[in-house]
Amino acid sequence: MPYVLPALSYAYDALEPHIDARTMEIHHTRHHQTYVNGLNAALEGAGLDSEEPVEQLLRRIPALPPGIHGAVRNHGGGHANHSLLWTVMSPSGGGRPDGRLAADIQAQLGGHDAFQAAFTQAALGRFGSGWAWLTVTPAGRLRVDSSANQDSPLMEGNTPILGLDVWEHAYYLQYQNRRPEYIEAFYRVVDWAEVARRYEIALAELGREAA
């Protein structure tokens, strides 16, 4: 069964004024759909099915036929990255995390302000196109990082729990070249409950539920 474009849990205009409806619609129905189509075409061309979660597929790119490594990296990464992005934004987002995630950000990253400064720098410092990330390493540690193009932390063995798209298609209609303003707007729609949920799942998969 081919991969499909995931539906959003909110309307395209629900994140306004922080992210405008036109950007959301184009980003979702055109850019993300293109990645889904490209991934399906690559797998079909290689005679492979697409029954496993795309996140699992990205973790095992080296085991795939060499001729589709680039397509899976680019289109599969684009599909996985955007699928995460839509879920970690919410019309009721913003603020700060609480609970275990907040405590671990304090202990491992120096607190929320330090985390946000590092995340902002990751987003601003990514030259050209790419993503900023908050990930969980195989050792169960939180890490702020960035990646080029549509590369996913999954390809390096890390699990993304928060991601920000800094390709120009993600913000140019509304913010033009003002990437710093776009980053600040993103913080106002982050769904920290979803990020915390993803954090707990990542730790559970590492066997660190009570760590």
Which residues are known binding-site members? 27, 82, 165, 169
Side-chain half-sphere of 17: how many Cα atoms within 13 Å? 1
Whether the ω angle into residue 62 lies within 30 degrees of 0, i.e. cis, is no
- Cα gap 9→15, rounded to integer Å: 11
Q: Residues within the annotated binding site for Mn(2+)?
A: 27, 82, 165, 169
CA dist list (Å): 8 to 32, 44, 69, 119, 163: 12, 26, 28, 25, 16
Half-sphere exposure of 30 (CA within 13 A, CB side): 8
- The span from the CA of 162 to the CA of 120, in Å, is 13
